[in-house]
Homo-oligomer: A and B are copies of this chain.
């Protein structure tokens, strides 16, 4: 297997059935088949292969990539911009504050009005339970209808840049990183992943990362453990997804209320704060009723609840429980002895680092520092994941088009 050779990726693609991704959207990873996820990873790697060899991957000569961020974002914003740019689309941000949307126009109308020359629409809407994913579907249906009605010349692809349920661009980047670090998807089978809650002084972080992780990593025959203090439950529907995935892939999905138990012998740990699902539902309702005093009271309660669990921190001591406990983590790639030391530490970033970004946080500074470079590499897959999502939705025969891009050989940058 020569992963430096584009042909390797083309051969992989030929064995997969992913034709439904063409002219389609990307909402949740568990709505995609195993072959479709493999195709996603393969195209992401192939695009990276071409760019690393200074070969342009522009498939658009013109066209817009629309972004709509209903929550702050740096990483995902720049990843989406990078992905669009890599393929030849110009990013146009829909800033709801500068628009006339407050006028009271419908989602259907706005979606069409911004899409006359849009090939992709990327949306982050993760703040309110039951709203974000639904909004994305409403936008997608609107532009599909617009395309059918002859209003839009093309069907813009919707890419979920984080909703209330899943964060597919993040979790797919996380997994592709693991695939690379462990030397292949098949090497992940039987590995233990600890997706655990961790303390943060910030009280209302979205559920989409833990949900996305247990919904995706259970696809590969891994032993996925979800750990959190009592009261920090996530959406039960997603736990059900994880359970079914694990059963189908020959892995397992279990729940514990102890960080230590989750960490024990883990190959991968993902300690990260989130807000209780029930509290997020409550907040959505309070917000819907315009009950801002209620929201303030809820915030206060949540902060107090969080503060009871400051011991949920990814410390050096806890890390010693992971892997074979021998010492710091070493990537298994190139480790002839098979000894992988401590678990690989993942985070979607930014992390709340104790004594760095806050007094007490999700992770000890020394642990975070040790994993800094792999963490940044983990993040580096996101632009390629997004680009692959767009590519697969826009190109009828991805293998042929990738081959053509290589043969065309346009330089990304003159030397």
B-binding residues in A (CB < 8 A): 51-52, 56-64, 66, 69, 72-75, 77-79, 81-82, 85-86, 88, 90-92, 94, 98-106, 108-110, 112-114, 116-117, 119, 146, 149-154, 202, 349-350, 352, 356-358, 372-373, 376-377, 379-380, 382-383, 394-396, 401, 404, 410-415
Contacts and interface: CB of A to CB of B under 8 A. Distances in A.
B56 A62 contact: yes
Contacts of A119: 413
A64 B82 contact: yes
B98 A350 contact: no
Contacts of A152: 380
A146 B376 contact: yes
B78 A63 contact: no
B151 A377 contact: yes
Contact of A376 (B151, B379, B395): B151
> Copy number of this protein in the oligomer?
3
Which has the most chain B C-beta neighbours within 10 Å: A401, A411, A414? A414
Given A74-B110, A90-B90, A63 B79 contact: no
B92 A352 contact: no
B413 A60 contact: yes
A394 B146 CA distance: 32
Contact of A85 (B90, B358, B394): B90
Given A62-B412, A73-B98, A86-B117, A350 B105 contact: yes
A92 B81 contact: yes
B350 A78 contact: no
Given A380-B116, A383-B116, A62 B74 contact: no
B86 A101 contact: no
19 contacts: A59-B413, A61-B411, A61-B413, A62-B86, A62-B88, A64-B85, A74-B101, A75-B100, A86-B117, A90-B91, A104-B358, A105-B349, A112-B376, A116-B382, A149-B373, A150-B377, A151-B380, A395-B415, A401-B414
Given A395-B415, A401-B414, 12 more contacts: A58-B62, A59-B413, A60-B413, A60-B414, A61-B410, A63-B412, A74-B113, A77-B99, A79-B116, A104-B358, A146-B376, A149-B377
Contacts of A117: 82, 85-86, 383
B85 A63 contact: yes
A124 to B, nearest CB: 11
A102 B352 CA distance: 12
B100 A72 contact: yes
Contact of A104 (B59, B73, B352): B352
